[in-house]
Amino acid sequence: MLARDWPALVVLTAMLVAGILVYPHLPDLVPAHWNFRGEVDNYFSRFNTPPGDIE
């Protein structure tokens, strides 16, 4: 690996660890979409939570 790849690897690893640590604390249904009034109008299960949405 090149030295320039290490920062990206550190960030990706930190995101993975953060997702693993937070996952058990998520509710069964996670809000997925809000309408123009700010009300949740769609949910998905925590199992299907995209990793980027956890943080």
Q: Rounded distance, CA 47 to CA 24, Å? A: 10
* DSSP assignment letter at 4: G
Domain-by-domain residue ranges, the chain? 3-54
Q: Could you tell me the pTM of the whole model?
A: 0.60
**pLDDT 10s digits, 31-53:** 888 999 999 999 988 887 765 55
Q: Which residue has the higher pLDDT, 17 or 51?
A: 17
Residue 26: which of 10, 9, 50 has the closest Cα? 50
CA atoms of 51 and 20, how far apart (whole Å): 9
